Structure 1
Amino acid sequence: MTRKRYLRCMLYGMFAVMLAVTAACVNRDTRPVPGDEPVLPRDPAVVEGVLDNGMSYLIMRNTEPRERVSMHLAIKAGSMYETEAQRGVAHFLEHMLFNGSENFPPGELIKYFQRIGMRFGGDANAHTGFYETVYDVVLPAGDTKSLAEGLLVMHDYAGGALLLESEVDRERGVILAEKRDRDSESYRSFVKSLAFQLPGMRVNERHPIGLESVIKGADSALLKGYYDAWYRPDNMAVVVVGDVDPAEVAGLIRDRFSSLEARAPKGVIPDDGTFAHMGTKTFYSHNPEAGGTSVTIEVLRHVDRQPDTFASRREQLLFDMASRILDNRLEERIGKPGTPFTSAGSGAGTYLRHVRYGIVAAECPADSWEESLAVVDQALRSALVYGFTPDEVARVKKEMKNALLQAEEKASTRNSRNLAGLLVRSFTTDKEVVSPSDERRLFEPVVDAATPEELHRVLKEIWSPAHRLVMVEGNVRLDKGEQKPEAVLLAAYEKSLLVSATPPVAKSAAAFPYLPAPKAPGQIASRVTHDDLGITVVTFDNGVVLNLKQTDFKAKEVLYTLRFGLGIKGAKGLVPGLASVSVMVTNESGLGRLDRDETARAMAGTNTSFRYGAGQDGFALSGRTTPGELELMFQVLFTQLTDTRLKEEAYHLSVQRYTQGLEEMESTVDGVLQKQVEAFLTGDAARFGYPDTSLEGIDFDAVKGFVMPALGGAPLELSVVGDMDVEEVVSLCGQWLGALPRRAPEAASEHGLTFPAGERLDLSVDSAIDKAVVTVAWPTTGMGDIHTVRRLSILGSLFSERLREIVRENLGAAYSPRAWNNSSRAYPEYGALRAVITVSPGQMAEVAAAVGEIAEGLRSAPASGDEVRRVVDPVVNRIADYRRTNGYWLNSVMQDSSRYPEKLVWPLDILEDYAAVTAADLQDLARTYLKASGAATLTVRPVPST
C-alpha cells in the first residue's frame, strides 16, 4: 500500500466502514448493556451458527447477481501471528492452497474453477492481511451440486492442503515475483513512516509479504507448522451469500465440516505491542518516485481493543462528523489564491485494533511544503480553538443522514460479493451484523442531535494527546545543508505555532438551481421502442436524442450520460496533455457561476453527481442520480450546457496536479510505460501521448478552445438507465433540453493511427527498484466487425492463460502477466493485442522470448477444447452478470447509439456469439494477427544513477 493510498484509507474510509462492518458471533446480543444504551440488533437476514468442533458459518440469501453465490473461508490469523522464523509464511501458505490438496492435485484447482465458468483472480482468489486470511470463490450457480463442490474446495483449504515440497519450490518464484511487483520507493517510505508512527508495535515486523530470506528458505514443514496451528475449526468461518436456501446451505456445511478436527494445539496469540508518544516528533522521508510532497500532522495513541457497541459506533460517527467539517474547510481552500497545496484532508478513528488516530494532511509541490504545513496546522488549531459554525454542522448532517437513507433504500439490491465481504470482516473483526434499516433507526437520531458544541468537544477529544507527529514525505529534498531534516521540520512547525489561530468565516449554502426553466418545452419529433431490448428512443424537434431503459437491477440508482461532439479525434490544435488538463479544469470549475466549493455546498446532501469527460470519439457529461432527483439532474445538465464558466483558479490547480502526476510517472517503470506506450503503439503523440512538465501549448485559452465549442454547439444525445419512470424522464428532457436551440453537427475527422509493426522501443528510468516491464503488441482491427472483435477478446484471454501457465507457473518469472485486445471505435481500422509482464531486469530477454513462443504456439496449433472452454465460459458468465447492471446498458449499448446504431443490435446475440467461439476461430485469428514480423516491443528497465 502506498503512502497516499494509506492516507486515503485513514481519511475517508472510516464512516463507510462504521456503517458497513457487520459481525458473526452467535448470541452476542445477550451481553450486558450499560445503562439505557441500545443493543446493536443482529440482522435477521443473516443465518449464523457454530458446529460442535467450533467452526462458524454465516449465510445470507441475496439475489444480485442472479444465481451467483459468493463463498468464502475466513481464518482469524494473518501475518501478525507468525513467529520470527515464519515471516511471510501466512502469505506463502495462501498461495500453496491453490497448488495441491486432498481432492485437487497440483495444477488442477485453477482449471476446475475455469471449467465451472470462474476466473482465477476474479472469481477465485485469496488475500492475507495482518490479522486474517480469506479465500474467495464465486460460484456460477446455487444448486445443490454447485454448493457441494464449492464447499469441497473450502474444506480442502481448511484441512486438506498437501504442501508438497516440489510445489513449495515452484511457488517460491511466484511469491518473489509478487514481492518484486509490490516493491517501490513509495512502499519503502510507507514502511519507514509506520515504524516512526508505531514504535514498539509488532505490525512493523510482520508485513504480509514477509522476508526474502524466509521465502527462499521455506519448506513444507515450516508451512505446515503455521497451517496446523491456525487453520483450526474454532478459528475459521464459512461465509455464503447468494441466491440460496440458507437452511440447505447450513446442512451442507454441517455435512462437510463437522468431521474437521484440529491438527495441533492452537497457536499462542502474540502481543501486539504498545507505544506512547510525547511532545513533538518529526519524520522525513525522501521518495524520488513521488510527484509531490505530503505534509501530515497526527496524534496517535494506543488503546485497548474496544467491543462493538452502540456507544463505540456513536463515538466513531461523531468523530467522523467533526473530522468531515475540518476536511471540508481544507477542501474549500484548494485552488484559491494563496493556497499552497493541491489536495488535503482530515480524519479520525481506530485502526490496527489498538491505534486511535487523528490526522490532517495535504499534498503539495515540493517547494510549498513549509507553507502547506503552516496552513494545515493553523486550520487545525482554528477548529480546536473556535469550533464549528452552525452552517458547517448543518451541511455535514445532511450528508450523513443522506448516506444512512441511501444505504437503507438500496439494501434490497445489494451485490452478494459485497455483502459477503462485509460478513467476512464481521467475523474477522468481531463486529455485529446490523441491517441498514437498523443502522438508520439507531444513528439518524445521533446525527440529528449533534450540535456545534458537541462536535467541538469531540474534535478536542481527538486531538487531546500531548504530542504531535509532524511528517514530510515525497520529492522534497531536506537532507541538504548542515541542519538535519528533522530539525528543519521542527523549526518550520514551531514557526507556524507562533501564528495565532483565527476564527472561521460563516458561509451560507449557495443557491442552486439558479437558472429558470425554458418557457416552452420542446416537442417530440419521433419515438421508437425496441421491445427486444426494453429501450425507448425519443428524438425532439431540436435534434436532442434521448435513450431510456428502466431497470430493477439496483434500487434507487439512475445513471446518465450526455454525449456530444467528436472528442479528442476531432479536436483542432491538439498538443499532448491538452485533453487531460482540459478535463481536469472543467471538473474543478464547479457548476456555472458557482465555483467548486460553492457547488459542493449547494449539492450537499443530494445524490446527483456530474463529471465532464473527453473520449477519442466524443465528449460527455455523466453521473448518477436517484428517482427523486431526476429534475435536479436535468437542471445540472442545463446549467452545464448554457452557463459553462471555466475558472482560472481551476486551471492553475489542474496544472499543478497534472505536473505532479507527470513527475511521478517519470520515476517508475510502470509510470514510464504508461507515459510512452499509447503514443508508441498508435503513432500519435498529440492524442495519446503525454507532455513534458513545461506543458507547452496548454494555456488557459487553449483549454477554453478545447472545451467550449463542442459543449456549446454540438448535437446532444442523452442516455438514462435505472430505477426511474420513463415518462417522467421524457417530460423533463423536453422541458430542459428539448427547448434548447438546434445544434449543428461537426465535420467528421479522417485522422488515422499507425501501428509500429516490427519496431522496438527500449526505455530506462532512474530507479533503484529492481523491476522491469516488457510489453509486446500486435496490430488487430477496430470495432467494425463485432464478431471478430469478440473472438479477439477471447484470444487475449487465451494468451493470458498461457502467460499464467508458462511465465508465472513454469518460469516463476512474473506474478500477474496479462494480455488483452483493445479494438478502437473511434478508429475503425485500429486495434492492438498486447501482453504486459513485470519481471526482474535479468529475465527480460527470457520472458520476451516466451511471449513470442506463446504467439507462435497459438498460430501453429489449435487450442484444446478444454482450454477453449476454460477461457470462454468465464467470459460468458461475466457478461451475463454485466448485462444485469445499469453500467452495461448505458455504456455498451445506449450511449452513442444514435451515431453507432449497431450498438442496439450487439446485445441480441452477445452471449450466444461468445459461447460459439471455437479453437479454429482462435487459431485463424492468431495466424492473421499474431505474426512475428508485425510485433512491436516496448521495454522499460531501471538504471540507477551513480
Structure 2
Amino acid sequence: MFFHGIHPGFRLSRIPAIAVACFFLFTGSLFALPDTRGWIHEKSDLPLHPDLITGTLDNGLRYVILPHHTPRNRASLHLNVQAGSFHETDSQQGLAHFVEHMAFNGSTHFPPGTLIHYFQSIGMSFGGDTNAHTGLGETVYHILLPQADADGLEKGLLVLSDYAHGLLFDENEIEREKGVILAEKRARDSARYRTGQALRRFLLPGIRSNERAPIGKKAIIEKGDRAELLDYYNTWYRPEYMMVILVGDVEPVEAESLITKHFAPIKARAPERQIPEMGKFQHKGDAFFHHAEPESGDVSVIIATSRMLSPRKDSIRSRKESLTLQLGSMLLRHRLSDRLSDPATPYTRAVAMADIQHETILSTRLVAISPQDKWEASLSLMEQELRKALTHGFSEEEMERVRREALSRIDRRIAGFSTTPSRKVADEIIRAMNTPRVFTSPEDDKALFADFIENMTAEDVLEAMKEAWGDDHRLIAITGNTGIDDHTALSRMRSVWKESTAIPVAAPDMAEAAIFPYLPEPEKTVQPLELISIEDLEFATARFANHTTLHVKQTDFEADTVRVLLSFGPGRAHEPEEWPGLSLAAPALVNLSGTATLDRPALARALAGKGMSVEFSVAQENFRFTASARPEDFSELMNLLRHRLLDPSFRTEAWELSRRWAEQQDRRMDSDIAATMQHMAPSFFASFDPRFSRPKASEMDEAMRLAAENWLAPAFRDAALEISVVGNVNPDLVIEEVGRYFGDLSRSPRKEKIIRPLSFNQGARATYWVATQIPSAQIRIGFPTTGLEPMEESRGLSLLARVLSDRIRREIREKQGLAYSPRSFHQASSVYKDYGGLYMHTGARPDQAAMVRKALMDVAEKLKKEGVSEEELRRARDPLMTGLKERFRNNNFWLAGVMAGSVEDPRQLDRVRTLESGYLEITTKDLTRLAEKWLQPDRASSITVLPVGEEGL
C-alpha cells in the first residue's frame, strides 16, 4: 500500500501481512479509473525524477527509460497496457486476462509453442525472468533481459512489440489455454478471495470494479472465442494506452531508437471505445456487515469509512495532506500493535490504514484478526482505541517516534536507490504511471517533504485524522469463521457497537521512555588472535580467543545496508526428542519477547528511526539472529545483538500470543488445501520425523514454554559464536566493533554435534482431506535422492529437476491443460547425511487428481527412459547460469550461503569456488545417468490433499 502521491518506493512503514490478507481489495488499480493517457508530470508542480527519460511516438505510444546499473549489464523491460478487466464488457469478463495468456501462445514472430523456448535460449527463465499480470486497470508484461546491449534490447523489444500488435489467437491454442486459465482460477480461489469480493461490495457499493475481478467468470472463459478476444485486444491494445518501460544498464539514445523502430509502426486496429464509468456511492450512518467464511482460520474485525472526493491531481499539496494522514495511521497502528504485549488483548494482529486512491476515494480502516470467541471484545476495543485517538490525539513522544521512522526511510531510500534492483524500480515506475503519480526522486522527496515531516505536530495529525474519519458514517464488518448465522451476527454486532460507543474514553496512559543501550559498555576492545584473508573469495575471517569467529566481506551490492548473521548453539536437527516441534515454536517466543529489560513494544520505541532489523530463527544446524542496519548504525547493531544475547527473554505473554497464532493455523489446516500441503508434506517425506512438524496449539502449554527456555538459554549464555557480516562497511571497523561487543564474552569451545539420522519415506502414499467447498486439490510426488554431497551429484539433480519441470510444464499445462503451474524442484540437505528429494508438485481438479498424478509419473518415467537431450540441457542450464551471475552480487548469498556455517563445514568455500564451473561441466550423459538412477517409480512417494468427499489416491 503506497501513500497517495508519494514516490512509490518511499514507504513510511511496512504494511503487515494482515493488511494484505484482509485489504488486498484496496491495493493496485482497483478504483478508477482516472485517464492515464499523456504525462501526469506535465500537469503537476512535482518534479519528475531528473534521470527519467520520457517520450511519445507519433502514434501516441509512450516510453520511459531510466539508466540504472543494478544489476550490471541487465535491463528490466515492460509493456504497460493501461487497460485491464475494468474495461471489459459484461460479456467479456475474464478476457483481459485471457488475452494476457494468449500472448505466450503464438504471435507474428513466435509460432505457438516456441516463445518460452526462445526465452530459455537467451538465458531467461519462464516465470522468473519473464511473466505478466492483469489487474483492473492494467495488463503488464515483464522481461528481465540477461543482456542489456543492443542485441539484447532488440530481442526483448521484438517480443514486446508482438505482444502489442501481433498476437495470433490460434483457435486450437485458445481451446487448450482455457484449461490452464480455469486451473489458475481454481488455484486463486480461497476463503480470503471470497471474503475480499464480499467486502468490496459492502465498502464500495455501486463501483464497477466490484464486478470485474481479473480472473473472470467461468462460463465466459469456457465460451471465449477468437472474435471476443480480438475485440478486446484490438480495442484496448492501442498506442495511446500502451507504454514501454525500460530500466537498466542501457544507453538511452540507442534504446530510444530501438523502441521507435519496433513500436512506431503500431496503429489502432479498432474504433476507440469510451472508458467505462467507475460508478458512485455515498455512505450515511453506521452500517453492519457479516460474511461467514467457515474455511477461514480466524475472524477479521473491520471498522472503516469510504467516501468519494472531487478528483484531485498529484501535487505537493496533496502529498503533504496524505503524509499527515499516513503518520496518523502509523500512530494508531503502533498503539494497536503495542497492546499485543498484554495477554488480555483479544485480537492477535491489528493494523490501521488510511489513503486516497486514484484521486477520488478516501478510505480509512482498522483491521484486526481475532479468535472466533473474541471478535466481540476485539470490536469493542478497536472502537474505543479509535475514539480515544480522535478525542484525545497523540503525545509528542508518539509523534517523535513516527517522525524519526518517516525521515529514516527517506534517508534509506536516498542511500539505497542506486543499488535497488532494476526490476523493483521498474515496478515502482509502472505503479506511478498507472495511478497516476509523478515518479519523483528520493532526493526531491527529501527536499520537498523532510522539513514538513520534521515540523508536523500532533495537532496537525489529529486534525487530519478527524477529517478523514469524519462523523457521518462507520462501516463495521465481521468476516471469517464466526460460527454464527447472519441474523445472530448482525444483532450482536449492533449490540456490541452500541454498548462500546456509550463508554467514555480517557486519554491513554503514556508508556515510560525506553532507554537503549542500557547494559554497561564493554571495558575494552579485544583484538583477534588470528586474521585470515580468503583472497579468491574476497572476505576475511577473524578468530578470537573466546571461540568467537568473524567473517566479513565488503561489497557495494546494497549501498544502504549491512547484513549480519549471528549463529550459535544447536539447531532444529538437534531438537530434544521429548519435545517434538519445539524448534518450530521457539522463534516466535524469542521474537515476541524483546529483552528481559525491554519488552517488544519498548524495544521498538527505543530503536525507532534506526532502521535496524533483528530476527531470531532456528535453522537446521544452529540458532540464528539475522540482522541488518544502515552502515552508519553498524556499531549500534552490534550492541543490540549483544543485548539480545546477554539479556534474553522468554516471556509467558509472548508464548501465549504465539499459541493463539498456532490456533488460527490449526483451524486453517482443517479447511485449507494449500496450508495442509505446506504443513504435512515436509513431515510426510521425512518419515514423519517430529523435527519437521510444528506443534499444535493444544500442545503449547507452559511446560513446553519452559522446555523452550531451557533449550535456548544455555546457548544464549555460553555457546561459541560465528558472526558473518557483509555489506557496504569497512572490514577494519567490523573487526573492531565485533571485538568490542563480543570479544570479551565468556564462551565455551565448539562441541561436536550429534545429529539423529533422517530417512526418506520411500514408496508411500498418503491422502489428507480437508473440509472445503473450494474445488481444488494438490499433489506432490517425491523421489528419494542424496544430500548436498557429493556436490557433482546434487548439482546434476538440480539441473535434472529443471529439465523435468520444463517437461511437466509442456505436458501437464500446455498440452493437456490440467494445471496452472506444475513444477519440479530438488532439495538436498547439507545437515542430514544422504537426505534429499526430487519433487513434482501441482494443483488439480479434485476429480482429476488421480489422472494428474499418473500424468506426472508418466513424464518422469519417459524422462528416465529417453534421457536428456542437448537442447533440454541448454534450456535448463542457460537461465541457471544467468541467475548465478546475479547470485554472486547478492549479499544474502554470501552471508547465508558461503560464510555462515563455514567454521563447521569448510567445504562451503569450495562449493562456491566451483559453482559456475561445476554446472558447466555437467553433460547430457550425466543427467541421463541421474534420471536412470533416481527416478525409480517404486521408490517414489506421494501426498495428496483433497476436499472431504473426494476419493483418495
TM-score, normalization by structure 2: 0.95
Secondary structure of the residue aligned to 1:307 is: coil
Secondary structure of the residue aligned to 1:392 is: helix
Q: In the superposition, relative to structure 1, how do residues 683 and 460 fare at CA in structure 2: closer, same or farther (>3 Å)?
A: same
Match of residue 771, structure 2, among 766, 773, 781: 766
Secondary structure of the residue aligned to 1:933 is: coil
Please say if residues 335 and 652 of structure 1, whose CA atoms lie closer than 8 Å, have aligned partners that are also in contact.
no
Q: How does 1:307-386 map to 2 (within 5 A)?
A: 307-351=313-357, 354-386=360-392
Greater displacement, 501-510 / 82-91: 501-510
Matching residue of 2:658 = 654
Is residue 513 of structure 2 the alignment partner of residue 501 of structure 1? no
Give the deviation of 1:28 after TM superposition: 5.0
Is residue 727 of structure 2 the alignment partner of residue 722 of structure 1? yes
Q: In the superposition, relative to structure 1, how do residues 465 and 258 fare at CA in structure 2: closer, same or farther (>3 Å)?
A: farther
Aligned residues, how many?
Answer: 933
Match of residue 671, structure 1, among 667, 672, 675: 675
Secondary structure of the residue aligned to 2:867 is: coil
CA distance in structure 1 between the aligned counterparts of 2:827 and 2:496, rounded to whole angstroms: 51
CA distance in structure 2 between the aligned counterparts of 1:9 and 1:842, rounded to whole angstroms: 29
| Structure 1 gap ranges (5+) | 18-22, 34-38
Amino acid paired to 1:363: I
Give the deviation of 1:274 after TM superposition: 1.0
Please say if residues 47 and 60 of structure 1, whose CA atoms lie closer than 8 Å, have aligned partners that are also in contact.
yes
Amino acid paired to 1:407: R
Matching residue of 2:571 = 567
Secondary structure of the residue aligned to 1:832 is: strand
CA distance in structure 2 between the aligned counterparts of 1:598 and 1:496, rounded to whole angstroms: 29
CA distance in structure 2 between the aligned counterparts of 1:608 and 1:81, rounded to whole angstroms: 44
Greater displacement, 660-669 / 51-60: 660-669
Amino acid paired to 2:792: H
Please say if residues 594 and 648 of structure 2, whose CA atoms lie closer than 8 Å, have aligned partners that are also in contact.
no
Matching residue of 1:578 = 582
Q: How does 1:806-825 map to 2 (within 5 A)?
A: 806-825=811-830
Is residue 232 of structure 2 the alignment partner of residue 226 of structure 1? yes
Matching residue of 2:152 = 146
Q: In the superposition, relative to structure 1, how do residues 29 and 936 fare at CA in structure 2: closer, same or farther (>3 Å)?
A: closer
Give the deviation of 1:908 after TM superposition: 1.5
Amino acid paired to 1:333: R
CA distance in structure 2 between the aligned counterparts of 1:29 and 1:228, rounded to whole angstroms: 28
Match of residue 860, structure 1, among 850, 865, 876: 865
CA distance in structure 1 between the aligned counterparts of 2:755 and 2:350, rounded to whole angstroms: 44
Please say if residues 341 and 601 of structure 2, whose CA atoms lie closer than 8 Å, have aligned partners that are also in contact.
no
Please say if residues 24 and 48 of structure 1, whose CA atoms lie closer than 8 Å, have aligned partners that are also in contact.
no
Is residue 91 of structure 2 the alignment partner of residue 85 of structure 1? yes
Is residue 219 of structure 2 the alignment partner of residue 210 of structure 1? no
Secondary structure of the residue aligned to 2:314 is: coil
Please say if residues 177 and 839 of structure 1, whose CA atoms lie closer than 8 Å, have aligned partners that are also in contact.
yes
Matching residue of 1:179 = 185
The CA deviation string for residues 490-514 of structure 1, in whole angstroms up to 9 with x for no partner, is 1111111111111122234300111
Match of residue 476, structure 1, among 482, 492, 512: 482
Greater displacement, 805-814 / 297-306: 297-306
Please say if residues 75 and 428 of structure 1, whose CA atoms lie closer than 8 Å, have aligned partners that are also in contact.
no
Secondary structure of the residue aligned to 2:282 is: coil
Matching residue of 2:489 = 485
Matching residue of 1:444 = 450
Secondary structure of the residue aligned to 2:821 is: coil
Give the deviation of 1:718 after TM superposition: 0.2
Amino acid paired to 1:797: R
Please say if residues 718 and 746 of structure 2, whose CA atoms lie closer than 8 Å, have aligned partners that are also in contact.
no
Q: In the superposition, relative to structure 1, how do residues 24 and 203 fare at CA in structure 2: closer, same or farther (>3 Å)?
A: closer
Give the deviation of 1:258 after TM superposition: 1.1
Q: How does 1:10-89 map to 2 (within 5 A)?
A: 29-31=41-43, 39-89=45-95
Secondary structure of the residue aligned to 1:288 is: coil
Give the deviation of 1:77 after TM superposition: 0.3
Match of residue 270, structure 1, among 265, 272, 276: 276
CA distance in structure 2 between the aligned counterparts of 1:738 and 1:25, rounded to whole angstroms: 61
CA distance in structure 1 between the aligned counterparts of 2:817 and 2:610, rounded to whole angstroms: 50
Please say if residues 14 and 320 of structure 1, whose CA atoms lie closer than 8 Å, have aligned partners that are also in contact.
no
Matching residue of 1:938 = 943
Amino acid paired to 2:144: V
Match of residue 587, structure 1, among 588, 591, 598: 591
Q: In the superposition, relative to structure 1, how do residues 6 and 152 fare at CA in structure 2: closer, same or farther (>3 Å)?
A: farther
Give the deviation of 1:29 after TM superposition: 4.8
Match of residue 607, structure 2, among 603, 607, 614: 603
Amino acid paired to 1:719: S
Amino acid paired to 1:928: K
Give the deviation of 1:552 after TM superposition: 0.6
Is residue 926 of structure 2 the alignment partner of residue 914 of structure 1? no
Please say if residues 669 and 942 of structure 1, whose CA atoms lie closer than 8 Å, have aligned partners that are also in contact.
yes
Match of residue 620, structure 2, among 605, 616, 620: 616
**How well do the aligned residues superpose, as a CA RMSD in angstroms?**
2.2
Match of residue 20, structure 2, among 8, 25, 31: 8
Is residue 553 of structure 2 the alignment partner of residue 549 of structure 1? yes
Greater displacement, 251-260 / 150-159: 251-260
Secondary structure of the residue aligned to 2:860 is: helix
Please say if residues 118 and 139 of structure 1, whose CA atoms lie closer than 8 Å, have aligned partners that are also in contact.
yes
CA distance in structure 2 between the aligned counterparts of 1:352 and 1:410, rounded to whole angstroms: 28
Q: In the superposition, relative to structure 1, how do residues 308 and 833 fare at CA in structure 2: closer, same or farther (>3 Å)?
A: same
The CA deviation string for residues 290-326 of structure 1, in whole angstroms up to 9 with x for no partner, is 2221111001112244211111111111111011001
Matching residue of 2:418 = 412
Matching residue of 1:641 = 645
Amino acid paired to 1:63: H
Is residue 793 of structure 2 the alignment partner of residue 781 of structure 1? no
Matching residue of 2:32 = none
Matching residue of 2:289 = 283
Amino acid paired to 1:7: A
Give the deviation of 1:288 after TM superposition: 2.1
Matching residue of 1:20 = none
Q: In the superposition, relative to structure 1, how do residues 284 and 577 fare at CA in structure 2: closer, same or farther (>3 Å)?
A: farther
CA distance in structure 2 between the aligned counterparts of 1:61 and 1:934, rounded to whole angstroms: 52
Matching residue of 1:137 = 143
CA distance in structure 2 between the aligned counterparts of 1:802 and 1:27, rounded to whole angstroms: 44
Matching residue of 1:884 = 889
Please say if residues 665 and 674 of structure 1, whose CA atoms lie closer than 8 Å, have aligned partners that are also in contact.
no
Secondary structure of the residue aligned to 1:294 is: strand
Give the deviation of 1:14 after TM superposition: 10
CA distance in structure 1 between the aligned counterparts of 2:590 and 2:504, rounded to whole angstroms: 36
Give the deviation of 1:700 after TM superposition: 2.1
Give the deviation of 1:794 after TM superposition: 1.0
CA distance in structure 2 between the aligned counterparts of 1:934 and 1:604, rounded to whole angstroms: 54
CA distance in structure 1 between the aligned counterparts of 2:700 and 2:443, rounded to whole angstroms: 54
Please say if residues 358 and 436 of structure 2, whose CA atoms lie closer than 8 Å, have aligned partners that are also in contact.
no
CA distance in structure 2 between the aligned counterparts of 1:6 and 1:337, rounded to whole angstroms: 20
Give the deviation of 1:696 after TM superposition: 5.6
Secondary structure of the residue aligned to 2:131 is: strand
Greater displacement, 381-390 / 563-572: 563-572
Q: In the superposition, relative to structure 1, how do residues 750 and 649 fare at CA in structure 2: closer, same or farther (>3 Å)?
A: closer
Secondary structure of the residue aligned to 2:698 is: coil
CA distance in structure 2 between the aligned counterparts of 1:16 and 1:557, rounded to whole angstroms: 28
Matching residue of 1:36 = none
Give the deviation of 1:27 after TM superposition: 6.5
Q: In the superposition, relative to structure 1, how do residues 133 and 838 fare at CA in structure 2: closer, same or farther (>3 Å)?
A: same
CA distance in structure 2 between the aligned counterparts of 1:128 and 1:849, rounded to whole angstroms: 32
The CA deviation string for residues 884-926 of structure 1, in whole angstroms up to 9 with x for no partner, is 0101110110111111111112222211222232221111111
Percent identical pairs in the alignment equals 36
Please say if residues 280 and 467 of structure 1, whose CA atoms lie closer than 8 Å, have aligned partners that are also in contact.
yes
Please say if residues 808 and 814 of structure 1, whose CA atoms lie closer than 8 Å, have aligned partners that are also in contact.
yes
Match of residue 851, structure 1, among 831, 835, 856: 856
Match of residue 903, structure 2, among 887, 898, 903: 898
Please say if residues 575 and 687 of structure 1, whose CA atoms lie closer than 8 Å, have aligned partners that are also in contact.
no
Match of residue 168, structure 1, among 149, 152, 174: 174
The CA deviation string for residues 187-223 of structure 1, in whole angstroms up to 9 with x for no partner, is 1122111111111111111000001010000001100
